[in-house]
Structures are given as C-alpha cells and as structure tokens.
Structure 1
C-alpha cells in the first residue's frame, strides 16, 4: 500500500464552510462513510463531506468520530483543532468481511464441492446472502413509500425493480453455477491441496513444503510478419 494512502485531512473548508475529508484508500473511505460522511466523486478525486443540514456542533462530533476511527487503525490524520481527539474506539468487523471470506475460500478451493459449498452461502433460498439483500431492498422501498417527497415513490419502485429483476438474475445465474459444481465432483486440474509439510527426505532448512511447482504457462508466439512488409 502506498504510504500516501495512509494520510488524510479532515478540515472545515474556508470557502464553503463544509467539513471535508480528503485522502486515504478505499478502506479509509469506508471508515469515513461508517462515521457518517458522504462520498463526492469528481473527475480528478474522490473526497467526503459532512451531510447537509447538520448544526456546527453535530458536524464537529461527526468529524471527531471519523478522526478517532481512522487513527484507531493506523491512519495519519491532519485535522482542525476542534476535531482532534485522543479517543481510539475498538473496530468491529464489518458485515462485508464475512462475505470476503467466501471469496478467500473459493480462491483456496481445490475441488468443485468446496466452491459449491461457498456459493451456497450466497444462493441459499431462505437465508443466503442474496436473499438477505433482497429483504434489505424491499425494506428500503417500504420506507420510501410514505416518506413524503415527490421523488420517493419513484425511488421505492426503483428499489423493488432492483430486487425483482436485477438481483433475481444474479441469484438465478449463481444458483445454476452452484448446482452445476455440486454435481461435478471434480478436483481442479491446476490446484492441489498443500499442507505446507516438508518431505521426509528433505535436508534443506529453507524448505517449506513438498508440493511440485505449478505448471508453467508459455507465452503465445508472436503473430507472423506479413510478406509484403519485408524488405
């Protein structure tokens, strides 16, 4: 990770009077969003701002919370004096971390059964990850139904469309992939299980496992030169 990605600023902009956070990497951006900041995507950069409509005291509390969370996991934050804090809150693993573990299981998988087991956590019809996402979209749609602004009914319809159409396609395709893998019962031809065990006849202290080297992939040959280009 580049060292520059570990540095952020959280300051009140002197021109707009907005509380702005700049710098950091995607992990820092997630921390800012969980602290309450809103991302702003521009052509040259992505930064974060405090939500509109907050009082100055609420903005200060929000900024101090962001500074505390960022510093608690090792980010260097340059901030206004009003936002400075010595608090270092404990960080709970976000819900997305459990889904990332499924990706790690698939990357380490050596058989179709292992990948099918991981995909089952996504596609299970009652309590899979995608079924839970559908419930979240439906709940957000229900919330917008009676919220009051003119655009809210449209947002509710859009959320239900995402649940009923777009998410349905993803669930159907992934379930088909999972079921196909569950029926195949095959090892991956280019992946082998590795227990990191040293062979019994190995004398080198630097040896870490007895696994053979992965097969080499030869680069494709260059395209033939057209006869008319030769001199």
Structure 2
C-alpha cells in the first residue's frame, strides 16, 4: 500500500515565471502530475528541482487556454491551485477515467485473483493477438516512428529508429507474457494464500492452539520508485 499523501501534495502553484516567462506548475502528487501532462504540460526533472512547464513556442492565448484547462481539471478532483488570475477556470471539466487507470484495474484484478484461471483471463487482455493491449502499444509506437521518419529535422530518423527498436523489444515482452498466460491457463490452480479460509482445523491436528491450516501470507516486495521523463529544454 502506498504511503498516505500529505496535505501539501494536494496544493499546486501555476504561474508565469518572472525569469523565463514560462508558465510553470509546481507541487502536487503523481495524480496531479498526470493531469498536468494530459493538459499539455511537459515534466522537467533536475538534480534539485522538479516541475512542469508548457511547451515552448506557444502563443499567449494558447498558454492561457492550456493553463486554465489544467486549473479546471485539478480543481475538479479536489486540488487547491494557486494560479495567475488569467488562468482562472471558465467552466468545470469532468475527470474521466483514463486509459492508464483502466489498465491499472487489471493489476487490481490480479492482486485479488484466487486462482490461475482468473489471472490467465487478465493476461489475455495484454497478449491477445489481434487487439491485446501490448499489440496496441506496438501499433502506437510504430505510428510514432512513421511520423518522425520524415518530419524534417536531422535527428528525426534516429528517433524513428529508436521507436522501432522499442517495438521489437515489446514483441519479445509479448512473447514472454503470452507464455506465462498459457501456462496459467493450463494449471487451474488455486492460489494458496488467497483461497477463502475454511476456519476449520483438521481432525488429526493435535495442537489445541491451531486455528486454521492456511499458510502465512508472504512478505510484500517493495515497489521501485517511479521515474519521470525529463522534458526538452529550449
């Protein structure tokens, strides 16, 4: 379980930086950062600093539009936003369930699964040949590579080749996950730590202190910290 968030994580500041004249957002938790990115902001990570900024080269009215949209989306889910007056939200924007959040529900289903058939069904959503999630991600990366190929800058073919390289690695990941899914589909096994506890003691049990035959739950493995990509600077 993730540690509880402090009140400070629910407060953000979106203002024009007086030194760079950029629209910069500071503060917030990972959910707020995701909303900022979906509102057009670019994450910037430095050695002793972490913030979000709007892309370079925007017209002033476009900066106001994007910043106002971010304020509206953040306010809709309960964040307090200190912002320039020109960034005031003109209308509330509902916060719909994102594609990433829908996929993350698959992880929740696996964590709650009681047998291998349930997990195999979830992994099928990842590995289905025609319209699985991993196949769709490969299509998105391929489309991005095709877009970069002839965009006009000398480095663009390099970016296109890197995306195509990632597609080849994704194909290897899909192959491995498919093997795991197929193995689980054949096992039909209940997970020993997740099956409902019968609350019964075997009739052959000699110890009066015995409560149930369930094995102890394993110690949870800590998750590695999430890294945030660094945006390009002009």
Bin of the TM-score, shorter chain as denominator length: 0.7 to 0.9
What's the CA shift string for 1:56-84, capped at 9, x where partnerless?
22111111111111001100000111112
SS of 2:194 mapped into structure 1: coil
1:156 Cα deviation after fit: 0.8
2:181 to 166, 178, 181: 178
Determine which structure has more spread, i.e. the larger CA radius of gyration: 1
**Is it true that 1:123 corresponds to 2:127 in the alignment?**
yes
Write the distance in 1 (CA, Å) between the matches of 2:176 and 2:30: 29
Give the TM-score normalised by the residue count of structure 1.
0.83
For 2:192, the equivalent position in structure 1 comes to 189
How many residue pairs end up in the alignment?
202
Q: Give the equivalent residue in structure 2 for 1:169.
A: 172
Structure 1, unmatched stretches of 5+, are 195-211, 220-231
Q: Residue 17 of structure 1 corresponds to which residue in structure 2?
A: 21
The CA distance in 2 between the partners of 1:90 and 1:163, in whole Å, is 34
**RMSD over aligned Cα, in angstroms?**
2.0
Structure number with the bigger relative contact order (C-alpha 8 A, sep ≥ 6) is 2
| Aligned-partner Cα distance in 2 for 1:8–1:27 | 12
Could you list the per-position Cα deviations for residues 195-218 of structure 1 after superposition, in whole angstroms to 9, with x for gaps in the alignment? xxxxxxxxxxxxxxxxx6964469
User: Could you tell me which of 65, 69, 74 is aligned with 2:73?
Assistant: 69
Match of 1:198 in 2: none
Check the 8 A contact 2:193/2:216 in 1, yes or no: no
| TM-score between both structures, scaled by the size of structure 2 | 0.82
Secondary structure of 1:117 counterpart: helix
Separation in structure 1 between the aligned mates of residue 64 and residue 188 of structure 2, nearest angstrom = 57
Q: What residue in structure 2 maps to residue 134 of structure 1? A: 138
Which runs of 5 or more structure 2 residues have no equivalent in the other structure? 198-211, 220-234
In 2 relative to 1, CA 213–91 (structure 1 residues): closer, same or farther, beyond 3 Å? farther
1:94 is matched with 98
Q: Is the 8 A contact 2:149 2:157 kept in 1?
A: yes
Q: Deviations over 1:2-27 (max 9, x none)?
A: 11110000000111111100000010
Rounded Cα–Cα distance in structure 1 between residues aligned with 2:73 and 2:171: 36
The separation in 1 between residues aligned to 2:178 and 2:149, in whole angstroms, is 31
The runs of at least 4 aligned residues of structure 1 exceeding 3 Å deviation read: 212-219
Superposed CA deviations along residues 20-53 of structure 1, whole A, max 9, x for unmatched, are: 0000001000100111000001122321001000
Specify the alignment match of 2:11 in structure 1.
7
Counting only pairs closer than 5 Å after superposition, residues 28-47 of structure 1 correspond to structure 2 as 28-47=32-51
Contact 2:11 2:79 (8 Å CA) reproduced: yes
Cα displacement string for residues 102-140 of structure 1 (whole angstroms, at most 9, x for unaligned residues):
101100101011100000000111110000001001111
2:57 match: secondary structure: coil
